[in-house]
Amino acid sequence: MERVIEAAERIRRLEVQGATGVALTALRAIVEQLEMSMARDRASALQELDEASRILFSARETEPFMRNAVRFLKLKAEEAEWERVEELKALVRGASQELLETFREARRRIAEVGSRRILNGDIILTHCHSSTVMVILKNAKERGTDFKVVLTETRPLYQGRRTARELSEAGIGATMIVDSAVRSFMRGISKVLVGADAITSEGNVINKVGTSLIALAAQEARVPFYVASELLKFDPQTIHGDYEAIEERSPQEVWADPPEGLMIRNPAFDVTRRDYIHGLICEEGVISPHIILEAVLRRYPWILKGAQV
Ligand code: RUB
């Protein structure tokens, strides 16, 4: 399981960051691992796939895009008729390509739809680093829209710095603030735009911790709050009553050398209720989070097959 273990470690250490980066890394690792498989029959090859999924899923628990991507490959492998492991390898390679094309098409559509929402003179507030938000901002810039960005540094691991570097490379004017300054700046913001790690069956969104506080401040100041996310981040388990698990990371990330006995909590994500979300920018367009289930059923019915009842 060398490739898979190595990918899981990179994901766990946040060398690969963001739901999309995590999902694509996991997908590649599974395909590469299977290429090296010595399994002799169907049962042992499928068992290897199960083991690889288990290792990857445990790397970060709040990542349904990764789980959906891996389950897509497993569903294809389980449903198809194949005898030799070589056939399975070709099948999984094909399935991975299919999913990547689906993802790229979704991304292209999100960039197009989302960038239309950004108008001349807008000041967009974002949080953490979301590759989905970045493609929207870059697309808006390429369309010639004149706007600026305010971004949080994003404690404890400063993913905002990555956002800041990319914005600077793209020639988009940006101002960084500390996370706790969000409310002070909210009156000057035109729109909030954040990414998502997970979307639940109720239309709630899970994203980097602090997102829900930003949503509260946006609602208070009547600033529209948008979430940009592929529907591939929908978590089918939430239909069956399970809550999305919120990953809790090491206290060391918050304070490497704390006084003895101090309790430190470090949740990576929080939940923003759908009532705070003005629009979900996804491959179906700008939609209300209330219709999430309908939209997922229309686009990706296979996602619902992946859930454990
Ligand atoms: C990243 C984060 C991002 C989402 C969406 O958290 O919360 O907003 O993952 O990213 P972390 P993308 O740094 O802990 O992974 O749009 O790239 O999928």
**DSSP-based helix, strand, coil % in the chain, nearest 5:** 55, 15, 35
Distance 3 CA to ligand 1 centre (A): 23
Query: Over the stretch 177-224, which tens digit does the pLDDT of each residue have?
Result: 999 999 999 999 999 999 999 999 999 999 999 999 999 999 999 999
Predicted confidence at residue 306, as pLDDT, reads 63
CA contacts within 13 A on the Cβ side of 172: 32
Q: What separation in Å is there between the alpha carbon of 128 and the centre of ligand 1?
A: 7
Beta strands across the sheet bearing 285-287: 174-177, 148-152, 123-126, 191-194, 225-228, 279-282, 285-287
- pLDDT tens across the length of the chain (309 residues): 899 999 999 999 999 999 999 999 999 999 999 999 988 888 899 999 999 999 999 999 999 999 999 999 999 999 988 888 999 999 999 999 999 999 999 999 999 999 999 999 999 999 999 999 999 999 999 999 999 999 999 999 999 999 999 999 999 999 999 999 999 999 999 999 999 999 999 999 999 999 999 999 999 999 999 999 999 999 999 999 989 899 999 999 999 999 999 999 999 999 999 999 999 999 999 999 999 999 999 999 999 986 776
78 CA distance to ligand 1 middle (Å): 30
Question: Would you please indicate which residues are annotated as catalytic (active-site) residues?
Answer: 128, 197
Distance CA(24)–CA(271), nearest Å, equals 24
Span from the CA of 39 to the centroid of ligand 1 (angstroms): 35
For residue 297, list its beta bridge partners: none
* Token pair recorded at residue 77: 């492998």
Nearest atom in ligand 1 to 131's CA: 17
Asked if 4 and 33 touch (Cβ cutoff 8 Å), the reply is yes
- 233 CA closest ligand 1 atom index: 18
Per-residue pLDDT at 83: 85
pLDDT given at position 93: 95
Question: Which pLDDT value is given to residue 276?
Answer: 98
- pTM to 2 decimals? 0.96
**Could you tell me the domains of the chain?**
2-108 (1.20.120.420), 112-300 (3.40.50.10470)
Q: Which amino acid is at 137?
A: L
Minimum-distance ligand 1 atom for the alpha carbon of 65? 18
DSSP-derived letter for residue 249 is -
The per-residue pLDDT for 309 is 64
Ligand 1 binding pocket, CB closer than 6 Å: 17-21, 128, 130-132, 159, 195-197, 207-208, 268
Ligand 1 site-directed mutation target among 11, 62, 128, 253, most atoms within 8 Å of CB: 128
118 burial via Cβ count (<10 Å: 0-12, 13-18, 19+): buried
Q: Cβ distance 109 to 101 under 8 Å?
A: no
Q: Which residues pair with 5 in a beta bridge?
A: none
Supply the pLDDT for residue 25.
97
Q: Which among 10, 139, 151, 159 is the best mutation to test ligand 1's pocket, defined by most ligand atoms within 8 Å of the CB? A: 159
List pLDDT tens digits, range 78-106.
Answer: 998 888 899 999 999 999 999 999 999 99
Q: In the prediction, which pLDDT does 40 show?
A: 87
Classified as helix, coil or strand, 196 is: coil
- How close is the Cα of 86 to the center of ligand 1, in Å? 35
Residue 285 belongs to what H/E stretch? strand 285-287
> Looking at residue 294, what is its pLDDT?
97
